[in-house]
Amino acid sequence: MNQFSPFRIPPYFGIVLIIMGGIILGAALGLVPTDGGRFMAPEWIIYGLSICLISGGLSLWLPEKTPVIIKSLFLIIVLGSLALVCNWSAFAPGLVYESSVGINGFEVSGVDQVGGRIVFGLAAAVFDVFILTTIIGWIRSKTH
């Protein structure tokens, strides 16, 4: 192997994901102080997001010789918890997306009842299909 191999970024990106997930989880549990803000989602969604980030970060630290079943388990946990967040964001009752854009003192803002739900709905559908096909493939491989 070349001694001047490219810089390995995944472990460092994993640290960032683990820290982000830990901070979100800590804030949800009241361990990390917030300035009076609150999450606009149920606790189980916040826990799902934390699990997604932490397990995603840990998966980047897995050695190359890790058994495939362990790598697959991490993938299912990451995608499953991300699908949970996307499904809730797409179909939660009463959820409203607000956005604003400003350029050189000109600002446009508004409420979007549909746009955010469409984006999260598409992401949720992709994750759901992927997870279902993965589970079906795993069941078929175990029964044949």
Domains of the chain, residue spans: 10-143
- In this prediction, residue 124 carries a pLDDT of 84
Look at the pTM and tell me if it is higher than 0.85. no
Alpha carbon distance 134, 137 (integer Å): 5
Q: How many CB atoms lie within 10 A of CB 121?
A: 16
- In this prediction, residue 19 carries a pLDDT of 95
Name the band, by pLDDT with cuts 50, 70 and 90, for residue 33: confident
- In this prediction, residue 97 carries a pLDDT of 61
The residue-averaged pLDDT of 130-143 equals 84
Mean pLDDT score of the chain, rounded to an integer?
Answer: 81
Alpha carbon distance 85, 122 (integer Å): 12
pLDDT at 3 over 60: no
Name the band, by pLDDT with cuts 50, 70 and 90, for residue 29: confident
Q: How many CB atoms lie within 10 A of CB 124?
A: 21
- In this prediction, residue 109 carries a pLDDT of 67
Name the band, by pLDDT with cuts 50, 70 and 90, for residue 21: very high
